[in-house]
Chain A
Amino acid sequence: MAYDKFNILTSSAVPLPIENVDTDQIIPARFLKATKREGFGDNLFRDWRYNGDDTPKADFVLNNPTYSGKILVGGKNFGSGSSREHAAWAVYDYGFRAVVSSFFADIFKGNCLNIGVLPVQISPEFLENIFKAIEADPKTELEINLPAQTITLLSTGEQESFAINGYKKNNMINGFDDIDYLQNIKEDIKAFADKLPY
């Protein structure tokens, strides 16, 4: 199923300078009971964002109107833990189109790529500079250029390249997904299956 195309994204960013942000924080298990992909953004970072009585926690970044944008910037090892794609859905549904970190957990990264959220892995030093720049000016913008595979901190011009394989890059730019690809090689898959021991 096609998803949003990703080309060049220029936006301010929301900083979350915490390491090992796990998928249970991104979306706690008790909010995984839906049978449709709807409304997960409401529960993004639920227990960091709201008190037990559902009142917002004033000190959490998503409740601070100073910070906004389509880019989430997180600390090292972002998305560790469970395979729940709901975590990526929550990030997307809230309005983020890219997540920037110095290191991503594997499954979360794959899930993001499968639904059209771009994970951008950069050096720890650049990540630190981005956090500092946002702290100094919350309106500071990042430019993520997928065709060129670069991310730029526009206030200083500091730029880094990021890695993504050519196949996934093409998918994201065009809004293609893997299932369409696999559907088109079904006959090859069947022939392959016939030769397997089980």
Chain B
Amino acid sequence: MSKTLFDKVWDSHVVRKIEDGPDVFFIDRHFIHEVTSPVAFLGLKSRGVNVLYPERTFATADHNTPTINQHLPVQDPLSANQLKALEDNANEYGISHWGLGHQKNGIVHVVGPENGITLPGATIVCGDSHTSTHGAFGAIAFGIGTSEVEMVLSTQCIMQPKPKKMRINVNGQLSKGVGPKDVALYIIAQLTTSGGTGYFVEYAGNVFENMTMEGRMTVCNLSIEMGARGGMIAPDQTTFDFLEGRLYAPKGEAWTKAVEYWKTLKTDPDAVFDAELNIRAEDIEPMITYGTNPGMGIGITKHIPNAKEVEGGEETYKKSLAYMGFNEDDVMIGKQIDYVFLGSCTNGRIEDFRAFAEIVKGRKKADNVTAWLVPGSHVVEAQIKEEGILDILTEAGFVLRQPGCSACLAMNDDKVPAGKYAVSTSNRNFEGRQGPGSRTLLASPIMAAAAAVTGKLTDPRELF
């Protein structure tokens, strides 16, 4: 029977099927961080069970870590306690731990691929919804709750009903200034924040085939923002080139064998999806969000829609615009902004910093803007320096911070103050996401760069 890419990977990991219930689903790789794992370890202790395969779990600290002065003790006692708990648990159970200050430390969804832990055909979970990022490699990757973290630690399995399958095809030629983030925000705007719920997505079409791995990770990362559990892209030469030689990637003969297998990981021509969406690349503009969920996005030249034009309740929509301090029919271009955040598991990779630098090169940061530029990992940070990007940023009046999740969810001190507007390359514009009362506008790195140097929302295409 014909199978999709998703079927092939899923079906090969089902330990058993439970009648009128979920599948017992085997997990190849498990990432943990300091926020969603401590209670899972407590559970292990109270049950008196061990970690079944410690070598399949990888710990890194990211959500709670400061992005300046990482060599100093963490000031917030609660954060310090969580970081310590991660370290202690990793040591106790023999799990590799890339804590604060470790040269491999960084955002879990950046360091996983960077070190070749993420591989095509693998099943990957983490107590973080943006685990969908790893789907860029043709892996099945998704976020889980803490109870499931405990299941994976103790049995390397979780219990999941198999999701339905959706394919999103984007074909054609993207116009200049339109990148992976815009493609993803456009798709989410089409599907709404719940349109993908119950599905696992495969992204297909020449736009994704021509995308770099960084771009594919940005797209897959945002799958959860339309409600989908995850998204994946069939592995190809771009994938293999990215992975070859990385720390945990297979080597020598094992590599050759792996690539042979990975080449079979594609959807059969006559395989059937439960839903399919076709998008013309030419229809996509540089995107910006104006509301309080990632589905509330429009092209930068557009007006904020009228309540009657949007799907869903009018009351919820008006509450959202009121929170943002916007009105129906407002023009986005020219709106004053206060903060710019470049970083996160969505857009904290080297390519994102290259794109940002391309715009700010030879320009100056606007005086009214506070900018937080946060690399996704120490590896990205080093590359920024090596490639001379840091010089461009410094010349333009920007400061580079140290790696972490930072202002994406504002668990550390990187909080946008109440009422202030932040153009963010992160993934969520929920109320208070970047600090109580903060107002987030999601966008691509070049849109963020354009806002950073002009102090207001600006069509980045005007700055090329």
By a beta-carbon cutoff of 8 Å, the part of chain A in contact with chain B is: 1, 17-20, 22, 24-25, 28-30, 32-37, 47, 52, 75-77, 80-86, 88, 103-107, 110-111, 114-115, 165-168, 177-179, 181-183, 185-186, 188-190, 192-193, 196-198
Contact = CB atoms under 8 A, between A and B. Distances in A.
11 contacts: A18-B315, A28-B436, A33-B35, A76-B194, A83-B145, A84-B145, A85-B36, A85-B127, A107-B144, A179-B154, A196-B12
B156 interface: yes
A179 B147 contact: yes
B457 to A, nearest CB: 23
Contacts of B12: 196
Contacts of B105: none
Contacts of B410: 29-30
Contacts of A80: 193-194, 227, 293
A101 to B, nearest CB: 11
B82 A105 contact: no
B312 interface: yes
B36 A106 contact: no
B143 interface: yes
Contacts of B145: 83-85, 88, 107, 110-111, 114
A128 B127 CA distance: 34
A32 B24 CA distance: 29
B313 A75 contact: yes
B294 to A, nearest CB: 9
Contacts of B18: 167
Given A75-B316, A198-B119, A165 B21 contact: yes
Contacts of A110: 145, 148, 160
B37 to A, nearest CB: 9
Interface in B242-281: 250, 258, 261
Nearest to B143: A83
A47 B436 contact: yes
Contact of B35 (A32, A181, A196): A32
A192 B156 CA distance: 11
Interface in B35-70: 35-36, 38-39, 42-43, 46-47, 49, 52-53, 63-64
Interface string B154-168: 111111110100000
A185 B16 contact: yes
Nearest to A29: B409
Contacts of B386: none
Contact of A103 (B19, B21, B122, B197): B197
Given A80-B293, A166-B19, A179-B155, A85 B227 contact: no
Interface in B68-121: 76, 78-79, 81-82, 85, 119, 121
A30 B51 CA distance: 29
Contact of A82 (B76, B122, B129, B154): B129
Contacts of B49: 183
A164 to B, nearest CB: 10
Given A36-B39, A183-B155, A77 B148 contact: no
Contacts of A114: 145, 147-148
Contact of A107 (B143, B315, B418): B143
Given A1-B43, A83-B144, A166-B21, 16 more contacts: A22-B430, A24-B428, A28-B436, A81-B224, A84-B35, A86-B146, A105-B227, A111-B145, A114-B148, A177-B147, A178-B147, A179-B150, A182-B151, A183-B154, A193-B53, A198-B122
B36 A167 contact: no
Contacts of B22: 165, 167-168
Nearest to B433: A24
Nearest to B44: A179
Nearest to B14: A192
A194 to B, nearest CB: 11
B299 interface: no
Contacts of B38: 34-36
A37 to B, nearest CB: 5
Contacts of B151: 178-179, 182
A49 to B, nearest CB: 12
Contacts of A29: 63, 409-411, 433
A189 B26 CA distance: 8
Nearest to A38: B39
A188 B18 CA distance: 14
Interface centre among B26, B42, B194 (most CB of A within 10 A): B194
A76 to B, nearest CB: 7
B440 to A, nearest CB: 11
| Nearest 7 interchain pairs by C-beta | A167-B21, A166-B20, A83-B143, A85-B145, A111-B145, A33-B78, A35-B38
A179 B43 contact: yes
Nearest to B293: A20
B198 interface: yes
A198 to B, nearest CB: 6
Contact of B193 (A20, A34, A37): A20
B431 interface: yes
Given A18-B319, A77-B194, A83 B430 contact: no
B181 interface: no
B411 A186 contact: no
